[in-house]
Chain A
Amino acid sequence: MHRNAKLALSVLAATSMVALAGCTAAGGNADGDSQSLKIVYQKTDSFTALDELFTKIKPEFEAANPGVTVELEPIQANDDDYSTKLALSQKSAETAPDVFYEDTFRLRSDIDAGYLLNIDDQLADWDEWGQFSEGAKAAGMGDDGSVYAVPLGTDTRGIWYSKPVFAAAGIELPWQPETWDDILTAARAIQASQPDVVPFNMYAGKGTGEGTVMQSFYELLYGTGDTLYNEDDQKWVVESQGFKDSLEFLQTLYTEKLALDPSEALDPNVWKKVFGELFPQGKLGGTVEGSYTPSFWQSGGSYEWPAYTEDMAVATFPTQNGEAPGGVSMSGGWTLAVGAKTADADLAFDFLALAVSQENALWYAINNSQIAVRTDVASEPTYLAANPFVADVTALVDVTHYRPATSDYSKISAEVQAATEAVITGQMSVDEAAAAYDTAVEGIVGADKVTTK
């Protein structure tokens, strides 16, 4: 007994010592004369294009910069978890990345947090910056007018519909709805003719995160004449009729069973089902999705489906009653930025510049179905011929909107998602959900930052 106790104590003591020693050893990772660049980006089972691009340019960059090691650190997570992990890593210089992949809508908030390096100086010396379109240059700009990030591409959103399903319902092709009611009419026709097909799905709920707002709710809201944020007054809009109408449209889709069952719609992976099963199997009439949609189906994509070029078509999402300009789209996009805690800003920027060079940007635009932001890429014949929908989705730029990317945006977005979830699950009526949203927004930004117009 006594001996056992002694033994246990010594084991305990020994292990704690080892653990303590481990703590100190981890810190002393001196780099000496060799330098390393830490690149942090997202990688999922359906998004590998950026990983491929970085893997391709890593040896190239290391050859051009002797003594430099490029450490690729993909984070395997969905968009929300990726940004959480990224933000956590930014807290300490030990873990902060030198170059990282960042969603445009989080830029301003992360610039406020001091995570991004001001790259005005580096851009001034970079002769290729002139190739970027004006919109693209503004995408990476902070409130102070300085540029902090370089866009990799942009996107638009429209209706993707299945031609065989629409044809079977007797709808004339090509289909272009002029009002919200046109969508409901078509969906009801599909429901009547093909009971086992989901007529028209639109994302809702917290499960799909930003997808819920970017590929569903904002297409509705920005087509009502109301907006989320009054840019002139810099105030958030509450009590708008458009907000209620948009919720009501979603409620109609879900209660009439024109969309997926709410239990499926709330699954964060529902979009995989949309791309991987429903469309290829002809079990879905239409949905609102991004210009990057072909990247899933084209050769080398996650859900290869060669027939998509024949079976699918793109339509512009209509305004509520056909008001001008006759359509709505939303744009976002991702950027590359240099970390504020980087040891060698110029070296980090060189890597960034290589990643968005004409050749690499072209490769990325084609393989990730991006809308090009470099004019010398947009005019490339191979870019225009990448898939049959490039022209359609590029045309949507004319009616597109951008998110109000203020630092409070992600919290407000979460409240919009919660409102849609409450409505489609029947937990709240449209009026209750809209009122709850108004209260929540006021709680987030304060009463002096909301407006009713």
Chain B
Amino acid sequence: MSAETVSRSPRETATGPGPSGSGPRRRPRGRTLTRVLPLAPAVVLLAIFLLGPVIWSFYGSFTDAALTGSSAQDPQWVGLDNYLTLFKDPVFPLSLWLTFVFVVASAIVGQNFLGLGIALLMNRASTVVSAVVGTAVVAAWVLPEIVAAFVAYAYFSEDGTLNQVLAAAGMTGPNWLYSFPMLSIILANAWRGTAFSMMVYRAALNDVPVEVTEAAMIDGADGIKRLTWITIPMIKNSIATNLMLITLQTLSVFTLIWVMTAGGPGNESTTLPIMAFQEAFKFGDIGYGTAIATVMLLIGAAFSLVYIRALRPEKV
């Protein structure tokens, strides 16, 4: 599309201001040109660094590409072999289920509801309280992922903060990362990601006109009714957008889980990204790893479609 616009441009500029009839059509085009032309390098970069790897990964999933061994030198086309192996792999259904649990519990339930709750409370709290709470929540989010992961590891590990606090209260905590690996990574991811939802919802709540809420209040609606009938419908778009973003982010969480449990013990916290990494880089089976990545891509695309659909009617 951009190429087309660019190729037409000289003619348009050469014509100069024409008859009044063509005016309204030409002006937006000239604008489109000045907008699109500087974007071209960005589009090229996106194509090279985002679209390229996706296509390569899709292609790789049909080959036996490997890090070592004879197929590293000369990868062969193996058709659907990788996918057939994947669907027969006993770890795959487990991994799929764990990914689902992780996304639902840590993103859709944890980050989303915590974020909404904190945003609602902050709207009522004094500026000082909301500033303090806001900073504390956002702190987890601004940390680089690897740092946040180590912080979470230090918190949940056997002689970590959590167990020391429990010990001070006279209780002996279990080794969380070993005994409850899924719970630990779910809590850690909720902790890390809540800030994003909170900020999205704060912005959305600020856009809810006070008059509407006040009118409802005069009509006798109590807090819960105002929330369910006024506030939620008015920020529906933000909710859908937020859900889409955090679902996709959580689907691809890797560093946090890798540092905390590395997918273990056994396969008890092996989500799809962990499984793909292990197959591709630990066992050197790039073809198989990219097949898992492709499946993840499809799952992400399916989620996006659902959310985009939910958004559509509101846009009209």
Chain A residues proximal to chain B, CB less than 8 Å:
9-10, 12-13, 16-17, 19-20, 80, 83-84, 87-88, 106, 109-110, 112-115, 205-207, 261-264, 266, 268, 407-408, 410-411, 414, 418, 421-422, 425, 427, 436, 443
Contacts and interface: CB of A to CB of B under 8 A. Distances in A.
Contacts of B44: 16, 20
Contact of B38 (A13, A19, A264, A418): A13
Q: Top 8 nearest A-B pairs by Cβ distance?
A: A13-B38, A113-B72, A16-B41, A263-B178, A87-B67, A407-B69, A114-B73, A112-B70
27 contacts: A13-B38, A13-B39, A16-B44, A84-B282, A87-B68, A87-B72, A87-B284, A109-B68, A113-B68, A113-B69, A113-B73, A114-B73, A205-B265, A207-B264, A263-B177, A263-B178, A263-B179, A264-B158, A266-B264, A407-B69, A407-B70, A410-B283, A411-B285, A421-B265, A422-B266, A425-B266, A436-B90
Contacts of B281: 84
Contacts of A17: 41
A263 B70 contact: no
Contacts of A422: 266
Interface string B21-62: 000000000000001001101101100000000000000000
| B69, B90, B282 pick with most chain A CB within 10 angstroms | B69
Contacts of B283: 410-411, 414
Interface in B272-296: 281-285
Given A13-B38, A13-B39, A425-B266, A84 B67 contact: yes
Nearest to A8: B38
Nearest to A415: B283
Contact of A206 (B35, B67, B264, B284): B264
B5 interface: no
Nearest to A10: B38
A9 B266 contact: no
B42 A266 contact: no
Nearest to B35: A9
Given A87-B68, A262-B178, A425-B266, 17 more contacts: A12-B39, A13-B41, A19-B41, A19-B45, A84-B281, A88-B67, A112-B70, A113-B67, A113-B69, A205-B265, A263-B178, A266-B178, A266-B264, A407-B69, A421-B266, A427-B265, A427-B266
A109 B38 contact: no
Interface in B58-98: 66-70, 72-73, 85, 90
Given A112-B69, A443-B85, A84 B38 contact: no
A16 B266 contact: no
Contacts of A110: 68
A436 B91 CA distance: 11
| B35, B45, B90 pick with most chain A CB within 10 angstroms | B45
Contacts of B67: 84, 87-88, 113
A420 to B, nearest CB: 11
A114 B72 contact: yes
A263 B68 contact: no
B73 A112 contact: yes
Contacts of B266: 418, 421-422, 425, 427
A188 to B, nearest CB: 25
| A17, A411, A414 pick with most chain B CB within 10 angstroms | A411
Contacts of B85: 443
A211 to B, nearest CB: 15
B178 A414 contact: no
A266 to B, nearest CB: 6
A80 B285 CA distance: 14
A123 to B, nearest CB: 23
B68 A407 contact: yes
Contacts of A205: 264-265
Contacts of A113: 66-70, 72-73
B190 interface: no
A263 B158 contact: yes
A70 to B, nearest CB: 26
A414 B278 CA distance: 10
Given A421-B264, A422-B266, A106 B68 contact: yes
Contacts of A264: 158
B282 A9 contact: no
A262 B41 CA distance: 53
B288 to A, nearest CB: 10
A5 B285 CA distance: 46
Nearest to B46: A16
B135 interface: no
A26 to B, nearest CB: 14
Interface string B92-115: 000000000000000000000000
